[in-house]
């Protein structure tokens, strides 16, 4: 009897990393429009960049290139979204909107 061990193919691993980077890049681009949720998209996009670069070192496929491009776009848009959300929060704080909302008395 021969013990057959499943062999892992590098092409499958690279394809999985490329697909993961593509999905994380899409998440990064989509979540950049939702205020503080863009922090999650920013983190996902950075992870997508890492996976895409690792996949492109082994084989330069179209999926890994698309994942890299979308992850870079997601990182840029996520950073802009985070800055905009912080600016809106600071503007609301300086206008007194946040203080007025906390001083409302409910009877």
Render pLDDT for 62-103 as a digit per residue (tens, 0 to 9). 999 999 999 999 999 999 989 998 998 888 888 777 666 566
pLDDT in tens, 16-72: 999 999 999 999 999 988 878 889 999 999 999 999 999 999 888 899 999 999 999
Angle between the 62-94 and 38-58 helix axes, to the nearest 10 degrees?
160
Give pTM, 2 decimals.
0.77
- Tell me whether residue 62 is exposed, middle or buried, using C-beta atoms within 10 angstroms of its C-beta: 0 to 12, 13 to 18, 19 or more: exposed
What is the phi/psi pair of residue 33, to 5°? -95, 5
């Amino acid at each position: 009897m021969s013990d057959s061990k499943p062999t892992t193919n590098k092409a499958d691993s690279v394809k999985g990393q490329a697909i993961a980077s593509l999905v994380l890049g899409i998440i990064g681009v989509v979540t950049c429009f939702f205020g503080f949720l863009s922090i999650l998209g920013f983190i996902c996009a950075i992870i997508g960049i890492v996976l895409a670069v690792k996949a492109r070192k082994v084989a330069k496929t179209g999926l890994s290139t698309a994942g890299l491009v979308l992850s870079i776009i997601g990182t840029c848009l996520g950073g802009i979204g985070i800055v905009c959300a912080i600016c809106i929060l600071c503007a609301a704080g300086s206008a007194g909107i946040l203080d007025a909302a906390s001083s409302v008395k409910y009877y």
